[in-house]
């Protein structure tokens, strides 16, 4: 393992000067001569038949170049693809036209497209298009959508049921019958809107002369988008270049293949002109994927001493109106496999119903499935503790998978790589001064003040792998990552990574890795990502995989480079490679440190090629495709302390302690940033964020005036600490830190609020814990 | 985010602005633009013309007019907040402005713009009601003064005529032993008031309430004074119990808004709670 000086150093992010001074290259910054602007007319109805579309007024407007309806695009674009075909689930794919042809199925479904000389004219033209609809009854709630007589989104998908996924391990009925304690609850994990700072967009430039399509777009996985664009447009991959160098946040929302980008590509090809489409924030809210949205029925079987003996879950996942690219895998594999959490629960039964409704499609949103599993377990274990009169910390300790059982094979078939769950709990208890805090809580209650302490001891799966497992799960892709390390004659290094960081800071952490591996200065390493023409095929950035998988590919490629350099150096120094040592960027003869060459000198010789070993090619470059043998499983303990004002229901945050174990840490400052952002997002689900639909399928929280993303003033200070349990899965021993905060924090916050309200006899309130919901719960119990 | 076409005029004087208003009956006056422009971007408002009055010199500024303080309609929040005179005499204004939007909004937004727009959830309407301000308007037929009590008429609707311009807001200087406070329950998404309560309390030498004015915003379609609360307190010793009892009346006879964040019932409850909190704070301050 390479732990030298840059590994572990809190170096400031090198991408930041570019990004914070407005010098990034985001999609909307790219200007091409002759570009036309595209705008999409979207359905105002959640469910309706398109009777007639009159585009004549729009077409006649000055500055309007073309108007397309769904029918006009049928021959130019295949349907929007779904690429996670979960097996044995009776999966029914939704025919998903980029522009609706006969029927619209959610508010925001595209019905027509305008291409104009400028964005203002395009908007005027969008408004001038007259669409006659036959409005149909809509269904928003996934349980109602499965009831007999519910509105049917598709003739060919009865009861709106897209799939029924099952995972039954052990005999739950037996443990249920034998259980000393049985708890059954219904939990709601509500719908969220990812709200990346940069909305989605594309600049598609088809060159009719060469037959090449270049598309700048907001993508977490440019090669996957190239592959899917090839599939939907019929252009060969070799004629498509996807560029997404700077992307302003994604949180999963920039993984899928969307209608907007597809339409821009098809129209650019049709008109032979560059087409720019940038969605508005309102479009972002209705037409970019949403996340979560589960209704869960949970049964927990336990013994009186707090030992959980089995978990049974029946979950209804709201998939929205169409199956988005990775959607079927999120509430199934990414949820069901993690239902034992950090606990030695032997029996797991899980049934997931994927239900279609007249709402925006859902897909992977930061955490993706794991927050839904973690919330369920962490909430239920608190309810169980209350039932048994146990301390929430102690019931967790009781059920933890002990550290001597790693690697631990879960009943769901995962192999937890490494862990010491109790260490994070102990450290968090110490940091929050638990015993004192409980005393303080008791005293304040006497004064009519209500503070609460909430726990979340989570484990999550990231760096999803290996590709073989992906195949078994029906994921239509591999889960490896690629890296090319190119050493130039001067010894400077360019790295081409298949990861596509869009806020995670890998331009910095990857350079730290390379500098350590090759002994070159940090400044001499360039990281190139997000351009399919430059980078070998890559899978992209999501699921906290970039460092654990992309970083491992990079280290492996560096080691190939170093091995070749060593052979060249040995040849030049006239010793055998084994006789050389490498330190501080220099090869030297063991026992004769004066006889040596710097890495840069070797690089130059590799390119001069005047005196290379016979079996060595000139140049100094290597590529590695890293397919990990396993996932990684970060874990930790978060403790949230709140005060609730029972008069208004308002929650104030007093303390927040996060002790995470993400394995070895390359750049602690960047990991802290990831943890902070993750906590903010998860905390916001608990108390602020809520995608609200009315019964007709209108999104009521369709703007930032109504959808409460957390502002700095709405958050507490975070106390962040770590334990370090390296993973054996990759050479750096790193796990992943992108989603831990989001996964851990939501139940910690809810558990804290419910703990504060314990004197009122309140055991559960469904999220989001808005002031009104809390006030109502208190009032109900007080009267 | 793309407004419809409009014509932009920049007025050099109030008279020029009035003339432009007559010539463009569908026009909107532009001051700070922090309510109007977002509405135009969403095409919720599509005026044919904007008349920019933000650079009319006589409309901006804060002056001491003896027993009153007069603030020009296009005076920006930030200038009011920084005014030593206002901080000394009308501290409720900076207290309320401090919870309006963010720094960027406060750098651009104007007091007159907020009042004339009459957003049901804006903060300052409650404050001008509680301070008993007078609003001066100029129209083709000359000038008139509108008491704050008569200014807010309905949702986004004021006593201003379409061809009138709000020019200044005049506040009486409060007597000795006056305390004032604005208490707000902010919507976590927008930052606007779910309920905002402003209270201005003057105590007599005997420590009893000599005068009190209470304004409430956010709760209903437009900001209102709560005379029933005021009447219940005048002449009383402002004990916690007396304030609590008076505040219970705050929600009587009001219409409440309802949205995804707060129902009408909850807003009614918050109205009582925040009137109580504002009164409690104002009394503390009046006592010094």
The sheet that has B28-30: what strands, in order across it? B7-10, B49-52, B28-30
Taking CA atoms, A38 is separated from A120, A201, A275, A702, in Å, by 10, 10, 6, 22
- For B114, the token pair is 């907020």
pLDDT in the model for residue B77:
98
CA-based nearest residue in chain B for residue A693: B260
A315-363 residue pLDDT tens: 999 999 999 999 999 999 999 999 999 999 999 999 999 999 999 999 9
Nearest to B262 among A281, A708, A772 (CB): A772
Contacts of A503 (CB under 8 A, 6+ apart): A247, A248, A249, A250
What integer is the mean pLDDT of A109-131? 97
pLDDT in the model for residue A463:
85
Query: In the predicted model, is pLDDT for residue A637 greater than 90?
Result: yes
Distance from CA of B227 to the nearest CA of A (A): 24
Instruction: Check if A690 contacts B (Cβ < 8 Å).
Output: yes
pLDDT category of residue A679 using cuts at 50, 70 and 90: very high
Contact A775 B187 (CB under 8 A): no
Nearest to B190 among A124, A282, A705 (CB): A705
Contact A690 B189 (CB under 8 A): no
- For A385, the token pair is 């503790």
Residue B34 lies in a domain: yes
Same fold, A34-136+195-287 and A291-464+630-782: no
CA distance B71 to B75: 7
CA distance A199 to A155: 33
Q: By residue range, what is the domain housing residue B116?
A: 61-172
A429-442 residue pLDDT tens: 999 999 999 999 99
pLDDT in the model for residue B22:
94
Contact A282 B42 (CB under 8 A): yes
pLDDT in the model for residue A1:
37
A137-172 residue pLDDT tens: 999 999 999 999 999 999 999 999 999 999 999 999
Same domain, B12 and B91: no
Residue B1 lies in a domain: no
Chain B positions touching A705 (Cβ under 8 A) are 189-190, 192
Same domain, B87 and B30: no
pLDDT in the model for residue B205:
96
A761-773 residue pLDDT tens: 999 999 999 999 9
pLDDT in the model for residue A3:
41
DSSP single-letter state for residue A699: B
Range 262-291 of A in CB contact (< 8 A) with B: 280-282
Pick the CATH number of A291-464+630-782 from 3.30.365.10, 3.40.50.720, 3.40.640.10, 3.30.300.30: 3.30.365.10
Distance from CA of A772 to the nearest CA of B (A): 6
CATH number, domain containing residue B131? 3.30.465.10
What integer is the mean pLDDT of A444-457? 98
Chain A positions touching B105 (Cβ under 8 A) are none
Q: Where are the domains of chain A?
A: 34-136+195-287, 291-464+630-782, 480-626
Query: In the predicted model, is pLDDT for residue B128 greater than 70?
Result: yes
Query: In the predicted model, is pLDDT for residue A2 greater than 50?
Result: no
Contact B270 A708 (CB under 8 A): no
pLDDT in the model for residue B185:
98
Taking CA atoms, A356 is separated from A6, A45, A140, A158, A365, in Å, by 49, 16, 9, 10, 18
Residue B136 lies in a domain: yes
Instruction: Check if A704 contacts B (Cβ < 8 Å).
Output: yes
What integer is the mean pLDDT of A270-284? 97
Same domain, B46 and B109: no
- For A230, the token pair is 């090839």
Instruction: Check if A102 contacts B (Cβ < 8 Å).
Output: no
pLDDT in the model for residue A123:
96
B227-282 residue pLDDT tens: 999 999 999 999 999 999 999 999 999 999 999 999 999 999 999 999 999 999 99
pLDDT in the model for residue A4:
53
Same domain, B248 and B165: no
Same domain, B29 and B122: no
For chain B, helix, strand, coil in percent to 5 are 35, 25, 40
Distance from CA of B68 to the nearest CA of A (A): 36
Query: In the predicted model, is pLDDT for residue A487 greater than 80?
Result: yes
Contact (CB, 8 A) for A569 and A760: no
Nearest to A706 among B43, B189, B269 (CB): B189
pLDDT in the model for residue A464:
84
CA distance A281 to B103: 22
What integer is the mean pLDDT of B111-127? 97
CA-based nearest residue in chain B for residue A704: B189
Residues in chain A: 783
Contact B189 A705 (CB under 8 A): yes
At CB < 8 Å, which residues of chain B contact A?
1-5, 42-43, 185, 187-190, 192, 259-263, 266, 269-270, 273
Number of domains into which chain B is organized: 3
A565-620 residue pLDDT tens: 999 999 999 999 999 999 999 999 999 999 999 999 999 999 999 999 999 999 99
Domain over A480-626 is classified CATH 3.30.365.10 = yes
B175-203 residue pLDDT tens: 999 999 999 999 999 999 999 999 999 99
DSSP for A437-466 reads HHHHHHHHHHTT-EEEEEEEEEE--BS---
Residue B2 lies in a domain: no
The CATH number of the domain covering residues in A34-136+195-287 = 3.90.1170.50
Percentage of chain A surpassing pLDDT 70?
A: 99
**Secondary structure of residue A493 in the 3-state scheme:** strand
pLDDT in the model for residue A782:
83
Average pLDDT, chain A: 97
Distance from CA of B134 to the nearest CA of A (A): 31
pLDDT category of residue A740 using cuts at 50, 70 and 90: very high
- For A26, the token pair is 């985001």
For residue A466, whether the previous peptide bond is cis, meaning omega lies within 30 degrees of 0, is: yes
Q: What ipTM was predicted for this assembly?
A: 0.96
CATH number, domain containing residue B26? 3.30.43.10
Last residue of a domain, one of B172, B197, B214: B172
Instruction: Check if A120 contacts B (Cβ < 8 Å).
Output: yes
């Amino acid at each position: 393992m390479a732990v030298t000086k840059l590994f572990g150093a809190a170096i400031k992010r090198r991408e930041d000067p570019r990004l914070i001074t407005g010098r990034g290259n985001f999609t909307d910054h790219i200007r091409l001569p002759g570009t036309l602007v595209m705008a999409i007319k979207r359905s105002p109805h959640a469910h309706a038949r398109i009777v007639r579309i009159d585009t004549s007024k729009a077409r006649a407007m000055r500055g309007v170049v073309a108007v397309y309806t769904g029918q006009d695009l049928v021959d130019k674009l295949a349907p929007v693809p779904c690429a996670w075909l979960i097996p044995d689930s009776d999966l029914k794919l939704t025919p998903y036209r980029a522009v609706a042809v006969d029927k619209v199925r959610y508010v925001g479904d595209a019905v027509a497209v305008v291409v104009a000389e400028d964005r203002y004219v395009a908007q005027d033209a969008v408004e001038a298009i007259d669409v006659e609809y036959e409005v149909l009854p809509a269904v928003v709630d996934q349980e109602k959508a499965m009831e007999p007589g519910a509105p049917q989104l598709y003739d060919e998908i009865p009861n709106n049921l897209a799939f029924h996924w099952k995972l039954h391990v052990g005999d739950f009925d037996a443990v249920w019958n034998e259980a000393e304690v049985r708890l059954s609850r219904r939990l709601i994990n509500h719908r969220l809107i990812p709200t990346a700072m940069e909305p989605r967009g594309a600049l598609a430039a088809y060159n009719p002369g060469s037959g090449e399509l270049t598309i700048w777009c907001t993508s977490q996985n440019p090669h996957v988008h190239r592959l899917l664009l090839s599939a939907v447009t019929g252009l060969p991959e070799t004629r498509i270049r996807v560029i997404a160098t700077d992307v302003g946040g994604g949180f999963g929302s920039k993984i899928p293949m969307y209608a907007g980008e597809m339409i821009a590509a098809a129209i650019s090809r049709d008109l032979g002109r560059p087409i720019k489409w940038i969605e508005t924030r309102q479009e972002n809210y209705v037409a970019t994927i949403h996340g979560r949205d589960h209704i869960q029925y949970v049964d927990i079987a336990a013994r009186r001493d707090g030992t959980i003996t089995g978990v049974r879950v029946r979950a209804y996942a709201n998939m929205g109106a169409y199956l988005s690219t990775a959607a079927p895998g999120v509430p199934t594999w990414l949820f069901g496999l993690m239902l034992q959490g950090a606990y030695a629960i032997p029996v797991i039964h899980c049934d997931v119903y994927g239900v279609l409704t007249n709402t925006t499609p859902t897909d992977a949103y930061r955490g993706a499935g794991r927050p839904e599993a973690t919330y369920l377990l962490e909430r239920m274990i608190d309810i169980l503790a209350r039932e048994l009169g146990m301390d929430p910390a102690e019931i967790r300790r009781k059920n933890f998978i002990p550290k001597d059982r790693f690697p631990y094979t879960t009943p769901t078939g995962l192999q937890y790589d490494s862990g010491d769950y109790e260490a994070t709990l102990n450290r968090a208890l110490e940091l929050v001064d638990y015993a004192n805090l409980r005393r303080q809580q008791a005293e304040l209650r006497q004064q009519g003040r209500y503070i609460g302490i909430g726990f979340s001891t989570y484990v999550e799966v990231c760096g999803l792998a290996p590709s073989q497992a992906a195949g078994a799960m029906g994921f239509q892709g591999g889960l490896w990552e690629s890296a090319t390390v190119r050493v130039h004659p001067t010894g400077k290094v360019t790295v081409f990574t298949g990861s596509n960081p869009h806020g995670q800071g890998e331009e910095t952490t990857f350079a730290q890795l390379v500098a350590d591996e090759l002994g070159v200065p940090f400044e001499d390493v360039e990281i190139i990502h997000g351009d399919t023409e430059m980078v070998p095929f890559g899978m992209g950035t999501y699921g906290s995989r970039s460092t654990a998988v992309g970083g491992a590919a990079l280290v492996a490629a560096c080691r190939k480079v170093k091995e070749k350099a060593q052979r060249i150096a040995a040849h030049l120094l006239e010793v055998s490679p084994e006789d050389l040592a490498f330190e501080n960027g220099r090869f030297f003869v063991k026992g004769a440190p004066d006889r040596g060459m710097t890495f840069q000198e070797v690089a130059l010789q590799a390119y001069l090629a005047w005196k290379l070993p016979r079996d060595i090619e000139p140049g100094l470059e290597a590529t590695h495709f890293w397919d990990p043998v396993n996932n990684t499983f970060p874990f930790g303990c978060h403790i949230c302390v709140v005060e609730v004002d029972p008069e208004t229901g308002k929650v104030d945050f007093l303390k927040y302690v996060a002790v995470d174990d993400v394995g070895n840490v390359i750049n602690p400052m960047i990991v802290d940033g990831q943890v902070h952002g993750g906590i903010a997002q998860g905390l916001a689900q608990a108390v602020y964020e809520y995608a609200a639909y009315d019964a007709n399928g209108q999104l009521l929280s369709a703007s930032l005036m109504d959808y409460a993303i957390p502002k700095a003033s709405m958050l507490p200070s975070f106390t962040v600490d770590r334990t370090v349990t390296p993973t054996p899965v990759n050479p750096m021993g790193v796990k992943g830190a992108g989603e831990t905060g989001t996964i851990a924090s939501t139940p910690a916050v809810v558990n804290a609020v419910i703990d504060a309200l314990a004197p009122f006899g309140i055991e559960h309130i469904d999220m989001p814990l808005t002031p009104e919901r809390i006030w109502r719960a208190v009032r109900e119990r007080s009267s | 985010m793309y407004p419809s076409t409009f014509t932009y005029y920049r007025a050099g004087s109030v008279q020029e602005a009035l003339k432009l208003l007559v010539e463009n009956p569908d026009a909107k006056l532009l001051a700070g633009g922090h309510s109007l422009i977002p509405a135009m971007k969403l095409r919720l408002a599509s005026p044919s013309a904007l008349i920019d009055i933000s650079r009319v010199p006589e409309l901006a500024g804060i002056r001491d007019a003896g027993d009153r303080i007069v603030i020009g309609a296009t005076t920006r929040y930030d200038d009011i907040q920084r005014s030593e005179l206002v901080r000394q005499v009308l501290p409720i204004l900076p207290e309320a402005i401090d919870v309006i939007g963010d720094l960027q909004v406060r750098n651009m937004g104007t007091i007159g713009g907020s009042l004339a727009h009459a957003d049901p959830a804006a903060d300052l309407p409650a404050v001008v009601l509680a301070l008993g301000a007078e609003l001066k308007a100029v129209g083709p037929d000359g000038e008139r003064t509108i008491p704050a009590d008569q200014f807010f008429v309905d949702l986004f609707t004021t006593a201003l005529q379409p061809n009138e311009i709000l020019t200044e807001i005049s506040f009486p200087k409060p007597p000795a032993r006056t305390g004032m406070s604005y208490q707000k329950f902010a919507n976590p998404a927008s930052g606007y008031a779910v309920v905002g309560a402003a209270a201005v309390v003057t105590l007599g030498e005997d420590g009893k309430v000599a005068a009190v004015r209470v304004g409430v915003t956010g709760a209903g379609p437009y900001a209102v004074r709560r005379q029933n609360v005021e009447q219940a307190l005048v002449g009383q010793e402002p004990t916690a119990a007396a304030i609590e009892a008076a505040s219970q009346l705050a929600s009587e006879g009001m219409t409440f808004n309802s949205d995804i964040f707060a129902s009408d019932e909850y807003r009614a409850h918050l109205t009582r709670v925040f009137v109580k909190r504002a009164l409690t704070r104002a009394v503390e301050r009046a006592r010094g």
